[in-house]
Amino acid sequence: MNRFLTILFLICINLPTRGQELKVQKVGLSDKVALEIEMQNLAKNYLQKSQIEDHNIEPNNLYMFEILAGNYEASLMTLSSLRANVGNENKHKPYIQYEIFSKAKIKQLKSDIDFKAAYQTSFKDYLISCNDEKAYSANLIFTTYDALSQYTENFETNYSKISESTINLDQAKGLLKSYFLYYVYSLTEPIAIEEINLDKQRRYIIEEQLVVSPLDGAEISVITARKRDAEPLPAVLVFTIFADASNYKLAILAASKGYAGVVANSRGKRLSKNAIEPYIHEHKDVYNIIDWISQQPWSNSKVGMYGGSYNGFSQWASMKEKVHPALKTIIPSVSFAPGIDAPMENNIFYNFPYRGIPYVTNNKFLDNAANFDSDRWNDLENTWFVSGKPYNKMDSIEGTPRPLFQEWISHPSYDSYWQAMIPYKNEFSHINIPILSTTGYYDDGQRGAMYYYLEHLKYNPEAEHYLLIGPYDHWGAQFASSSNLRGYQIDDVAQINIRDELVFDWFDYILKGKEKPSILKNKVNFQVMGTNQWMHKSSLSAMSNELCTFYLGNDKSNGLYSLISEKPKEEYLKFEVNFADRKNMNNSDYYPWPIIKDSIDLTDGLIFVSEPFKKESIINGSFSGNLKITANKKDFDFSIILYELNPEGKYFHLSYYIGRASYAKSRSHRELLKPNKETTIIFDNTRIVSKKISKGSRIIVVIRGNKNSYGQINYGTGKDISKESIIDATIPLELKVNTQSKIILPMWIDN
């Protein structure tokens, strides 16, 4: 059957049918014309059948079916009925992408032009009508983040499920909805991308160039963007090792907000011909770029910096020796602190930074293929764990030398190697510019961000340093929050956009003299999970007004020990970690993913449970305490995990701590234990959290030894841990915990 007859057959076969069934005649997915006709007829029949059978179609679905059926005028009316009054000139009206699509289709039908020309004209006119901020965000509305792959996969999956010649209304609804997104964006995305890029060129001067350091001749690749014909402006700088297409977007984002946007890359990235050496040179390179910006004719000599993770680290690094006079403020988010939280935390090297080495050093940009090959890295970790080989053999197991990895693990103490990268001790005292730090309760880099915050205020108590923290992970606390975080539905008030809104509200406040962002009502601003409210305090210590102290009870019920408020007599609770056992891991579920669990492992370590809370309370801050503990080895790694067990039997992950006993007193100096002699380990470097604890909830405390594939394994010999191996697992680690050990919870109790 030739193509013409196939199309004619589709038109004839897709007539309204009796009952709930609609006829379909599948065609090849590669035949876009036949596919469009089939879906158009299916949409027409769906609308007709729904009308005949008085089947109500919700407006948020109706416009899709109207567009697919070719009822473009009707779709505009439906879209209009859906749209609330936006009231913000910087925001796109809801469903605007579908409105423009329908108008372009109407223009195509009324004029002797093809769809591309009709849509191109309509979309270009729309962009011209947008102010800079709205035009910048057009790509979020009119393009997909993955070049249509998700929409394509969803439709093709739904289409492949059709095995009969008829489908019911529910099946048709799902198929049409998935086709709609695929259909609209496949036609419009290429045009939108082209027009958005042309629009940027019309609005901005965008340049990329090399800046040569006057100190050592290092080359730094810099992208700048600024409004055409603008007067000298304050500059917003992002200094990053992550060189990719987003660098241009970040520069233009700042330009769209009324600033000169500057994105500079670490030496060796993009156009730079230097060696790529993460962390090493930022303390001087960022300073030099700030100096370069201050001398440009488009700069008014005011510079602000922002960015998260490595980009947060680079801001702090720039101020190690002194603050450049042009630098007026920084907004470090989820900031890495080398040697503090990455590549090691509490002196334990984690595996996840290992994969970051090829990601940023394999080429001038980013090796995404390597970084996102999760199977590769999971296999490597598991192979290493099962083999029992020393940690320093990780790269030999991979088969690729990693000099940077070997360099890192040769510095297991927080020594001069790490101290040279960021402000250290009294070097914080000269930092006098206003700062806004952001992090999250579930941010992997929270301890790094809090290191900077705490040290800054320790050495400069009068510093104007604001903190914002909420139920965010490493991404939400630097970009925009997710409504659902690892299974936890965050409160409405916590759903904020940090990068695109709060960051530039702060810059407007500092660099342009506008009002301070309304969410920053005090120096410490935190969202209390479960209350839909923010709290604002003058300091971290003011977050709590009562300390709840628990001791470790010896009574056991249903496999759990008791967590008690009265100090007990001295007794000892024992548990073991067998390092020779490679079939089982210890402490493999400490990480809060998901945040809410139906159950936890009750067989690993010591588990303690409190009595039910008699009234609703709020835990606010970092839990702390001490372990009076005896080990049969010279060293060990351990964890303490905190949960709320609610009356429904769900475990809510609150916070955790993982540490190395020999560095408990100082991260800079290792002090080995005396085997079989009690020592007291004080811990307070735990993750901040704020959450309402319901009446009837219990607190669960889990104490474990650490042996898993996620990081170093400390066998306890006292040797360099990176050189220990399963050969050193002669006897299991035996830990005896004194019941007079303390767990202290910071609480907020309303009087």
Could you tell me which of 422, 415, 382 has the C-alpha nearest to residue 398? 382
The whole-number average pLDDT for the span 369-392 is 97
Q: How far apart are CA 336 and CA 408, in angstroms?
A: 15
Q: State the number of CA atoms in the 13 A half-sphere of 138 facing the CB.
A: 29
pLDDT value of residue 86: 55
SS in 3 state form for 341-361?
CECEECCEEECHHHHHHHHHH
CA-based R_g, the chain, Å: 30
Could you tell me which of 341, 345, 350, 344 has the C-alpha nearest to residue 708? 350
* Residue 711 CA: distances (Å) to CA of 351, 376, 381, 637, 703: 5, 16, 8, 11, 18
For residue 331, report the phi and psi dihedrals to the nearest 5 degrees. -130, 80
- Residue-wise pLDDT for 722-748, tens only, equals 999 999 999 999 999 999 999 999 999
Angle made by CA atoms 253, 259, 260, in degrees to the nearest 5:
90
Q: Say yes or no to pLDDT of 13 above 90.
A: no
Could you tell me which of 241, 367, 243, 251 has the C-alpha nearest to residue 310? 241
Give the containing element (helix H, strand E) for 176.
Answer: helix 169-203
3-state secondary structure of 520: coil
* Residue 257 CA: distances (Å) to CA of 234, 254, 343, 438: 11, 5, 35, 20
pLDDT value of residue 54: 74
- Non-local (6+) Cβ contacts of 201 within 8 A are none
Could you tell me which of 129, 362, 345 has the C-alpha nearest to residue 244? 362
Give the DSSP letter string of 304-354. Answer: EEEEETHHHHHHHHHTSS---TTEEEEEEES---BTTTBSEETTEEBSHHH
Question: Which pLDDT band holds residue 83 (cuts at 50, 70, 90)?
Answer: confident
pLDDT value of residue 85: 62
- Residue-wise pLDDT for 149-175, tens only, equals 999 999 999 999 998 889 999 999 999
- Residue-wise pLDDT for 410-451, tens only, equals 999 999 999 999 999 999 999 999 999 999 999 999 999 999
The whole-number average pLDDT for the span 621-642 is 98
The whole-number average pLDDT for the span 663-668 is 98
pLDDT value of residue 25: 86
Pairing status of strand 488-489 against strand 484-485: antiparallel
pLDDT top residue among 746 and 90: 746
Residues in the chain: 751
Could you count the other beta carbons within 10 Å of the beta carbon of residue 660?
23
Tell me if 39 sits within 8 A of 179, measured CB to CB.
Answer: yes
Q: How far apart are CA 425 and CA 601, in angstroms?
A: 40
Q: How far apart are CA 357 and CA 352, in angstroms?
A: 10
544-748 CATH, one of 1.10.3720.10, 3.40.50.300, 2.60.120.260, 3.40.50.720: 2.60.120.260
pLDDT value of residue 453: 98
Task: Give the bridge partners for 638, in sequence order.
Answer: 659, 705
Q: Say yes or no to pLDDT of 16 above 90.
A: no
- Residue-wise pLDDT for 489-538, tens only, equals 999 999 999 999 999 999 999 999 999 999 999 999 999 999 999 999 99
- Non-local (6+) Cβ contacts of 46 within 8 A are 22, 65, 169, 172, 173, 176
- Non-local (6+) Cβ contacts of 332 within 8 A are 305, 306, 307, 308, 312, 313, 315, 316, 435, 437, 438, 449, 452
Question: Which amino acid would we find at residue 196?
Answer: I
Q: How far apart are CA 23 and CA 738, in angstroms?
A: 73
Q: How far apart are CA 568 and CA 589, in angstroms?
A: 30
Could you tell me which of 325, 269, 334 has the C-alpha nearest to residue 300? 325
Q: How far apart are CA 223 and CA 208, in angstroms?
A: 4
Q: How far apart are CA 226 and CA 467, in angstroms?
A: 30
Task: Give the bridge partners for 661, in sequence order.
Answer: none
Burial (0-12, 13-18, 19+ Cβ within 10 Å), 237:
buried
The whole-number average pLDDT for the span 440-463 is 98
Tell me if 385 sits within 8 A of 367, measured CB to CB.
Answer: no
Question: Which amino acid would we find at residue 735?
Answer: L
pLDDT value of residue 12: 42
pLDDT value of residue 17: 38
User: Which of left, alpha, beta for 626 (phi over 0: left; psi -120 to 50: alpha)?
Assistant: beta
Q: Say yes or no to pLDDT of 97 above 60.
A: yes
Q: How far apart are CA 210 and CA 221, in angstroms?
A: 5
What is the CA 549 to chain-centroid distance, rounded? 33
- Non-local (6+) Cβ contacts of 338 within 8 A are 279, 313, 418, 421, 422
pLDDT value of residue 18: 42
Task: Give the bridge partners for 235, in sequence order.
Answer: 260, 303
pLDDT value of residue 56: 86
pLDDT value of residue 87: 58
The overall average pLDDT reported for the chain is 95
Q: How far apart are CA 307 and CA 327, in angstroms?
A: 15
Q: Say yes or no to pLDDT of 4 above 60.
A: no
pLDDT value of residue 444: 96
The whole-number average pLDDT for the span 225-253 is 97
pLDDT value of residue 5: 44
pTM: 0.94
Q: Say yes or no to pLDDT of 58 above 60.
A: yes
Q: Say yes or no to pLDDT of 283 above 60.
A: yes
Indicate the fold that domain 213-340+418-541 takes in CATH.
Rossmann fold (3.40.50)
pLDDT value of residue 20: 67
What is the CA 673 to chain-centroid distance, rounded? 38
Give the containing element (helix H, strand E) for 198.
Answer: helix 169-203
pLDDT value of residue 112: 86
Q: Say yes or no to pLDDT of 372 above 70.
A: yes
The whole-number average pLDDT for the span 296-310 is 98
Q: How far apart are CA 324 and CA 266, in angstroms?
A: 18
Q: Say yes or no to pLDDT of 19 above 70.
A: no
Q: Say yes or no to pLDDT of 7 above 80.
A: no
Could you tell me which of 154, 209, 211 has the C-alpha nearest to residue 183? 154
Could you tell me which of 647, 633, 648, 656 has the C-alpha nearest to residue 713? 633
The whole-number average pLDDT for the span 312-340 is 98
Tell me if 414 sits within 8 A of 668, measured CB to CB.
Answer: yes
Q: Which residue has the tokens 């998260």?
A: 308
Q: How far apart are CA 156 and CA 80, in angstroms?
A: 30
